[in-house]
Structure 1
C-alpha cells in the first residue's frame, strides 16, 4: 500500500512529462506503466516536431509545447537529439498548393513565420527534390528529436525530482475512494491518491469507462521504415501535403520514412504489423519526392500502437463525471510534438485548478453527441467501415 498526491497511469510522453511538471511544482507523484517507459507509440514514432499544418484550435498548446522542446536540454539534462531542422511542406498540383496556402495562413495567424517557395526556389535550394514538386512552404522553427530517447530521459528527470516510477505493473482497477482514488495493479500494488492522470494511450478507455465516460477510439499506427546510412544531405523534415510521404535524414545518414495510409494495430495482442505492400508503396512514393534514394536499402520496418478518434483530435482535461480524474489520450499521431505542453497543462489543472492554455476543443464531453468525422480520417486510413473505426 502506497500513498501519493497524484497517480499517473501510462509511461509514454504524456505520462512522463506530466510527472515531471507535477514534481517541478512540488507534487508527490507515482507513475505506473504496464510495460517499460516509452515502449509504445511514444518511443517508436517518426520524431517530428511540426508546427505547420495543425488544427487551428491546437496552436496555443502546440506553441507552448514547442517552447518547452526548445529548452529540453536545460530542463531535463538531455537534449534527446533535439534539432531545429525546419519543416518543408511540398505540393505537386494546384489543389495541394491551395491546401498549403490555407495551412500557412492559419500558422501565420498564430505568429509563425512561414516562407513560401516556388518551383524554381525548390530546385535552387534543394536540388535533390523530384521534378513533380510545384511549390512548398517552409517553417524554420519546426524541429525533430529522437523518440526512443525522450520518454526515458524525462522519466529519469522526474525521478530526480522525487517521482516514483513503477514499471511492469498493469493497472486493472481505478475506483473512487471518498475524496480520492484507489489504484490497484496486477502485481498487488495498491495506491491511494487525490488525483489520477489517465495517460494510458490506446488502453485509456478502460479507465474512462469505469467512470461513465467513453470515446470512439481505435488503435492504429503509421507504417515506417529506415534506410541504411547514406551521405547526409537532407536537413529539413520533408512532408508531402497529401501525407503519402514524410521523411527526414539523421546526421548519421539514415533516412526515416513515414506515410499514410496508416495501418491497423492490435492493442490486445500488443502488435502493430506493417503489411509488406505498404512498405513497397512507401518506397515508391518516397522515390518520387527524392529520386536520389532509389538505390537506398531499407533495413528495418515498424509501426506503433496509437489511439485515434474520429475528429482526429485528442481528449485532454478533467473528467466530466469525476473530479480529480484527468484524461489525456487519443492523440491521433500528434502526441510527440504536444507532449510537453500537455504535461504542463495537466500540472496547471491539478495544482491551480485552471490553465491559461486553451484546451476547450479537447473535452471528452464532445462525444456525448455526434462528432463530425474529420476528412483526415478518410484520407489517412484505409477505407473505414464506419466513422472512427477502420478495418
Structure 2
C-alpha cells in the first residue's frame, strides 16, 4: 500500500493506532457501521507480526472461551472474497494435531469433548485409521485430532487486503505515520504524529501489538507484555501432496512444531522455541540452533521433510502476555478507549473476527460473541495491582 496523502482529515469518529491485522480489519468493519475512521500505521500495513506469522487458520487447541470468536472469524475467512474482494490465499484444507504418546492422546480426547459445546466438532483417529487417512505421517502416530474446516492462508496478503478494503470503504489509512504522543483532552483523544500533524477523535483503538504496553500505561492500564520472535522457515518446493496443516500435540516447548505445504510445493514450518525481540530496533533475531532443534520434531511428524533443504528462515516481533490470552475490549477506566493486542502468537485466524467484534463494540456498545475473558481489567486486583 502506498502512503496516504497529507490532506487526511484532522478529526474522525474513531482513530485506530496500529495497522496490523486487527487494526486494519477493525477499520474496514467500522466503515460498514458508518463511522468515519483514521487508521495510523508507523510502517506499512501488516508489516509486523501480522505479516511474518505461520498463517494458521485453526480453531482447535484454543482457549475454550475464545472459540465463539474463533468460530465467527472462520465464517468470515470463508466469505473474504465477497467482503473485501480478495481471498488472501485462504485454503480450508483441514488441520490436524498429532499425538505420539498416551498422555498427549488423552489431552486431545479431552479437548474434543470440551470444545463440542462451543460448536467445534473434531474427528479423532488412532493407530491404523490415523495412518490410513493421513499416510504422510510417521508410522508410530498414536492419535490424530482432525478439524476439517480449518486451514491456512498467506499472512503477507491478509492485513494489506483489509487495509485496501478499508480505504476503498472510505477509511483514511495513513502508513509511515509514527505516533509521537497520545492523550485525552476533554471528550477527545489527541494523537500527535511525526510528519502528519495532530488527529482527534472521541473514540480510540490501540492495536499496536508488542508496542501497546506503553500506550496502555499512558491511560492507567498497566500490564506486562513480552516481545518475542517466532522461528519460521520454508523448504525447497516438492510435489504438492500435504493438504492439512499438521501440528505436534505436546506440552513440551521444543516439540510444539507445525507445518503446512503451499500450492507451489514449499513446506512452511514453525514452532518450538522463540527468541527475545527488540522493540527499539523492531527486530527479532534468528537463532540458527532453533532451526536445528525444530528439525527432529518436524521429521517425527513428517519423515520425508528430513530430505529437504531449508531455503529461508525468518522471524518477527509478537506480543505475549503472562496468561497467553489477548487483550480485547474497552479500557478498564477511560471511556471511549479500546484495545485489541497481545494475541500471543495465535491471532492470525482471529483477525477478521476481532475486526468485526471490535467494530460492533465501538459502534454499538455490544458484541455478538462474548469477549469478557479478554478484558484488560483482569490484570487488576489485590495480587495484581494496576500500578
Q: What's the TM-score bracket when you normalise by the shorter of the two chains?
A: over 0.9
Structure 1 residues 345-379: Cα deviation after superposition (integer angstroms, max 9, x where no partner): 1111111112131011111111113789xxxxxxx
The residue that corresponds to 2:368 in the other structure is: 356
2:256 and 2:350 map into 1 onto residues whose CA distance is 22
Match of 1:15 among 20, 23, 27: 23
Q: Give the match's secondary structure for 1:2.
A: coil
Q: Does 1:335 align with 2:347?
A: yes
1:26 and 1:225 map into 2 onto residues whose CA distance is 41
The residue that corresponds to 2:5 in the other structure is: none
**Contact 2:248–2:256 (Cα < 8 Å) also in 1:** yes
Q: Does 1:219 align with 2:231?
A: no
Q: How does 1:84-233 map to 2 (within 5 A)?
A: 84-233=92-241
The residue that corresponds to 2:379 in the other structure is: 367
- 1:66 Cα deviation from its structure 2 partner: 1.0
1:371 and 1:299 map into 2 onto residues whose CA distance is 48
The residue that corresponds to 2:267 in the other structure is: 255
**Contact 1:36–1:168 (Cα < 8 Å) also in 2:** yes
- The TM-score, its normalising length taken from structure 2, stands at 0.94
Q: Does 1:80 align with 2:80?
A: no
- 1:203 Cα deviation from its structure 2 partner: 0.4
**Contact 1:104–1:114 (Cα < 8 Å) also in 2:** yes
Q: How does 1:41-60 map to 2 (within 5 A)?
A: 41-60=49-68
> How many residues were matched structurally?
372
**Contact 2:41–2:178 (Cα < 8 Å) also in 1:** yes
Q: Give the match's secondary structure for 2:192.
A: strand
Match of 2:243 among 209, 212, 235: 235
2:168 and 2:196 map into 1 onto residues whose CA distance is 25
**Contact 2:131–2:141 (Cα < 8 Å) also in 1:** no
Q: Give the match's secondary structure for 2:269.
A: strand
**Contact 2:19–2:44 (Cα < 8 Å) also in 1:** yes
Q: Does 1:315 align with 2:327?
A: yes
**Contact 2:228–2:284 (Cα < 8 Å) also in 1:** yes
**Contact 1:221–1:333 (Cα < 8 Å) also in 2:** no
Q: Please, which runs of 5 or more residues in structure 2 have no aligned partner?
A: 1-8
The residue that corresponds to 2:4 in the other structure is: none
Q: State the superposition RMSD in angstroms.
A: 1.3
2:234 and 2:368 map into 1 onto residues whose CA distance is 39
**Contact 1:225–1:298 (Cα < 8 Å) also in 2:** yes
Q: Give the match's secondary structure for 2:42.
A: coil
